[in-house]
Amino acid sequence: MDRPTVVLAMAEDAASYVSALERAGFDVIHQDVTEWLAAGQQFDLAVLDCDGDLEVVQRTHELLHGEKRTPTLLLLGEEYPDFVQQAGAGDELALKPLPADALVYRLQALLIRAGRHLTAEAPVGGEDGVTAIGEGRVISVFAPKGGVGKTTIAVNLAVALRTQTRERVLLLDADVGVGNVTSVLQVPASYGLIDLADSDPSEWTDAAFDQATATHPGSGLRVLTWGTEPGDSERISVDLLLAALKWARSHHTYVIVDNHPGYDDRTMAMLTVANEIFLVVTPEVGPIRNSSQFLELARQVGLGDVVRVVVNRANHGVSMADMAQSLGLPVSATIVSNGPKAVIAANEGTPIITKFPKERISTDLHDVARLVTHQGVKETSAQARRWRLPFARPSHA
Ligand SMILES: Nc1ncnc2c1ncn2[C@@H]1O[C@H](COP(=O)(O)OP(=O)(O)OP(=O)(O)O)[C@@H](O)[C@H]1O
Ligand SMILES: [Mg+2]
C-alpha cells in the first residue's frame, strides 16, 4: 500500500512535524507548497497554518479546495482568517500549539474518516515515535465521568458484536491504572500490555500482541488488557497503546476500547483515532454537564461528528428529549437500568447479554451493537459544518 501523502503549509518551522509524520508512515511535502498545488499535484491530506501571510493562506486554501477537495486540518492561533468561519465539511480545526504527536493522531483520524486506510508498513513507533493505524473499525467507549457504565457497555457491546456478526472482535482495556474488564468478564489468565511495556518498540510485534491477548471461551471475543496493578500504570505509554491499536485494527473487524474517564494523553489518543466515540451518559444533571463540556471540546478539535450518545440507566431521571437538547445531539441508543441483573452477571464474570438474554437490558445492549453494524455516524452537513467551527475557544484555565 502507498504511503499516504500530506502537504504541510506552515508559517513556522515544520521540522518536528515532518519528522514525526515521516516516522508514522506519511510522505511529507513542506516546501514550495503553493507551487506544487498550483501545478495540480494531489495530496491525501493537508495541514494549513492559518497564522501565515493572509493572502498566501487564502490562496493555499483555495488550491486545496479546487476540483478535488483535499481533507485539510487548519491550524489556528489567536486570530484566524474569515474563511475559517465559512469552512465547509472536509476541513477540521486544531488549536495551536499542537504537539507533533497530536498532529499525527489528528491526521491518522482524518485519513480514516476520509475513507483511506493507513499504510500497514508504517513503523510501529520509534524513540518518541507514533504509530499509524491499520484497518478494522474502532469504537471508543468514553465518558468524562466515572461509574456511568462504560465497562459494562464495552464488554457487552464487544460480545454482542461477536455473537451477531461472528467477525473477529477485540476488546481493549485502555482504562490504564484503574480499569479491569476481566473483573466483569472472565477470561483465561494471560499477559497484558504491561508485559510489553519495558521492551523496545521493535519487539512490539504481531506475535507479541497476540500472545498478550486472551480469548473469552463463551463467545470467541479477544480481550487485551493493559494489566492489573495500578502501580504499573505509568509504564503504559501512549505509543504502546497506539501500537496495540494498530495491531488490533489490522487483525480484527471491530475493536472496542474501554477508556479511562477524563482527558489524559492516553485517553485522548484512543479517542482521536476512533472511528466512533460512544459517549456514555446517565440522565443526571452532573454527567450531562460533563458530557456537554466534552462535546464542546470534541467539536472544537474536529471530533464532534464521530460522537454518538448512549444513555445508560435511561429509564430514570432527565427525559431523553431534554438530554438531546442539552447535549445538542440526538440520543443514539438507550439502555434500561437493571441493577440486580448487572450485579449478578458481573459477579459471575459473565456478560449480561449471555446470562440474561431475554431481559430488556440485554436487548438494549444488542441494539448498541447494531449501531455499529448498521455503520457510521450520520451527520447532517449543516450540523457537521457548525460543529467544526470554533464558536468558543476552549478555556485553558
Ligand atoms: N444499565 C445498568 N443498570 C444497572 N446497573 C448498571 C447498569 N450499567 C452499569 N451498571 C452498574 O454500575 C456500576 C458501574 O458500571 P461500570 O463499571 O460499567 O462503569 P464505568 O463507567 O466503567 O466505571 P469506571 O469509570 O469506574 O470505569 C457497576 O456496578 C455496574 O454493574
Ligand atoms: Mg470502567
The atom number, within ligand 1, closest to the CA of 336 reads 1
Q: Which of 152, 181, 260, 264 to mutate to test the pocket of ligand 1 (most atoms within 8 A of CB)?
A: 152
Q: Between these two residues, 101 and 236, which has the higher pLDDT value?
A: 236
**Cα within 13 Å of Cα(297), Cβ side:** 16
Q: Which residue lies with its CA nearest to atom 5 of ligand 1?
A: 339
302 backbone dihedrals φ, ψ, rounded to 5°? 85, 15
Average pLDDT over residues 331-350: 97
Ligand 1 proximity of 230 Cβ (cutoff 6 Å) = no
What string of H, E and C letters represents the secondary structure of the chain? CCCCEEEEECCCCCHHHHHHHHHCCCEEECCCHHHHHHCCCCCCEEEEECCCCHHHHHHHHHHHECCCECCEEEEECCCCCCHHHHCCCCEEEEECCCCHHHHHHHHHHHHHHCCCCCCCCCCECCCCCCECCCCCEEEEEECCCCCCCHHHHHHHHHHHHHHHHCCCEEEEEECCCCCCHHHCCCCCCCCCHHHHCCCCHHHCCHHHHHHCCEECCCCCCEEEECCCCHHHHHHCCHHHHHHHHHHHHHHCCEEEEEECCCCCHHHHHHHHCCCEEEEEECCCHHHHHHHHHHHHHHHHCCCHHHEEEEEECCCCCCCHHHHHHHHCCCEEEEECCCHHHHHHHHHHCCCHHHHCCCCHHHHHHHHHHHHHHCCCCCCCHHHHHHHHCCCCCCCCC
Q: Which residue lies with its CA nearest to atom 19 of ligand 1?
A: 149
Average pLDDT over residues 247-253: 93
Ligand 1 proximity of 144 Cβ (cutoff 6 Å) = no
Ligand 1 proximity of 337 Cβ (cutoff 6 Å) = yes
The atom number, within ligand 1, closest to the CA of 337 reads 3
Tell me, yes or no, if the two domains 5-131 and 137-384 fold the same way. yes
Q: Enumerate the domain spans of the chain.
A: 5-131, 137-384
**Digit-coded pLDDT (tens) for 258-295:** 999 988 878 988 998 888 999 999 999 999 999 999 99
Fold classification of 5-131 (topology level): Rossmann fold (3.40.50)
**Digit-coded pLDDT (tens) for 28-61:** 999 999 999 999 999 999 999 999 899 999 999 9
The grid cell for 265 is: 494523553
- The pLDDT of residue 90 is 56
- The pLDDT of residue 131 is 37
The atom number, within ligand 1, closest to the CA of 175 reads 27
User: Could you give the percent of the chain with pLDDT greater than 70?
Assistant: 86
**Digit-coded pLDDT (tens) for 296-315:** 888 766 788 889 999 999 99
**Residues 52/59, Cβ–Cβ less than 8 Å:** no
**Residues 4/118, Cβ–Cβ less than 8 Å:** yes
What is the 181 CA–ligand 1 centroid distance (Å)?
A: 11
Ligand 1 proximity of 261 Cβ (cutoff 6 Å) = yes
**Digit-coded pLDDT (tens) for 141-183:** 999 989 999 999 999 999 999 999 999 999 999 999 987 899 9
Closest by CA position to 361, among listed 323, 319, 315:
315
**Digit-coded pLDDT (tens) for 211-231:** 999 999 999 999 999 998 899
* Architecture, CATH, for domain 137-384: 3-Layer(aba) Sandwich (3.40)
Closest by CA position to 191, among listed 233, 227, 239:
227
Mean pLDDT, the chain, as a whole number?
A: 85
Cα→Cα distances 225→170, 212, 233, Å: 10, 8, 12
What is the 151 CA–ligand 2 centroid distance (Å)?
A: 4
**Digit-coded pLDDT (tens) for 180-201:** 899 999 999 888 999 999 998 8
Ligand 1 proximity of 52 Cβ (cutoff 6 Å) = no
